[in-house]
Amino acid sequence: MELLLNQEESMVKDSAIEFLNTHAGPSLHRELRDSVSSRGYSSALWDQMVDLGWPAVLVSEDYGGLGFSHVAMGQISEQTGSFLASSPLFASSILGVSVLEYSGTEQQKKDLLPLIAAGELFLALAIDEAPRHNPELVDCKAEKNGSEYILSGVKRYVVDGHISDNLIVSAKISNNQVNNGSTTLFIVPTASKGIEVTKVPMVDSRNSSTIIFENVHLSEHQILGGVGNGSNVLSAILDIANTHLAAELLGISIESFRRTLRYLKERKQFGVNIGSFQALQHRAATLWSEIELCKSIVLKALRSLDHPNLSTPRLASSAKAKTCKVAALATNEAVQMHGGIGMTDEFDIGFFLKRARVAQLLFGDQRYHTNRVSELSGF
């Protein structure tokens, strides 16, 4: 498996760095936080992302997209971590698009994918119900009533659910002799009668949502991937989600290390740069080594998404588990090596720690994915 970027992938990465270095970063993140943005992202930044074609990267050319690889999209995910760039890109243009490409009907793809590629429509994945990620725990019910389904239940930690036009919801089918109790995915307009969306600000100043469904009427045409096939679809989609989160965590780790290294070279104590202290040099060297390992596993997992095989789930969870561990180390060390100033709100390094903590918990933390790797490896 090739662990180097090709020319197209390198161009995407360089373009993302150049753009986000100019238009994003901690200053914009601080501005959004202090303004208590109802959206949680900058509309101006999103419009520029649309102009660059980022929402269309994973959309097939048949539906108005670019049809690029997950490796290419992963370079963008990594840089959104490095520059703290919040947008609907992850929830809608990665997860939403992947669900439709993987399990949508031809009509669903024609209706939705061109709009997502144009940045005009947002999707959100509503699958978690417990305080911690557990896709197998589904209490949300879809009761079959003639040709309809009546959806009731609660979903929590729905990333960007408050801005979504459509929700992808997992539910257990009831009153169905063949698929009773099986998980099925539905695509549900957020404006449907019986849906209540409550925005929940997170520690990283972005937004998730708690969504209540109360007797929401759905048609058979709103099913994604067939009745009872939701678990199989989600298994593939969550591998995509966690690999791109791993790429973002890698970006956070790299930028945290870069800023820390710069500080070690600039800050003087006892008349010398603190970077000359051997104890800090050892810690910096350890962190550099760990980040290099992350680069390899993340790229390998991204390549596996483009060529799915039996190793894909294990690689996705390996990447998430490793980057969770290293992002925690990188951001903790960054704050500590900056000393007292690292603890202040006026200094930017704390933003990276907060975003890392949220990304670590989304769709399974380090412990969850370490256990999954063990199970997939036969232990």
Q: The CATH number of the domain where 24 resides is what?
A: 1.10.540.10
Is the separation of the CB atoms in 74 and 302 below 8 Å? yes
**DSSP structural state of residue 341:** G
Read off the pLDDT of residues 214-267 as tens digits, 9 standing for 90 and up.
999 999 999 999 999 999 999 999 999 999 999 999 999 999 999 999 989 988
Question: Cβ contacts of residue 350 below 8 Å, gap of 6+?
Answer: 335, 342, 343, 344
Task: Reply yes or no on whether the pLDDT at 274 is more than 90.
Answer: no
Question: Dmax of the chain from CA atoms?
Answer: 80
Burial class (CB in 10 A: 0-12, 13-18, 19+), 357: middle
Q: State whether 267 and 370 are in the same domain.
A: yes
Q: What is the pLDDT of residues 28-70, one digit of tens each?
A: 999 988 987 778 899 999 999 999 999 999 999 999 999 999 9
Domain contains 45: yes
Which of 73, 104, 121 is the endpoint of a domain?
Answer: 121
In a domain, 15, yes or no: yes
Q: What's the confidence (pLDDT) of residue 342? A: 85
Indicate the pTM of the whole model. Answer: 0.95
d(CA 30, CA 255): 17
The answer to whether 116 and 98 have CB atoms below 8 angstroms apart is no
CATH of the domain at 175: 2.40.110.10
Say if residue 258 is in the same domain as residue 316.
Answer: yes
pLDDT in tens, 327-355: 999 999 999 988 888 888 888 999 999 99
Indicate the pLDDT class of residue 203, thresholds 50, 70 and 90.
very high
pLDDT in tens, 136-153: 999 999 999 888 999 999
The answer to whether 246 and 77 have CB atoms below 8 angstroms apart is: no
Asked, for residue 147, whether it belongs to a domain, the answer is yes
In whole angstroms, give the CA distance from residue 60 to residue 80: 23
Q: For residue 320, what are the domain limits?
A: 231-376
Between residues 185 and 337, the one the model is more confident about = 185
Q: Into how many domains does the chain fold?
A: 3
Q: What CATH number did the domain enclosing 290 receive?
A: 1.20.140.10
Residue 1 lies inside a defined structural domain of this protein: no
The Cα–Cα gap between 270 and 315 comes to 46
Residue 180 predicted with pLDDT over 80: no
Element spanning 210, H or E: strand 207-219
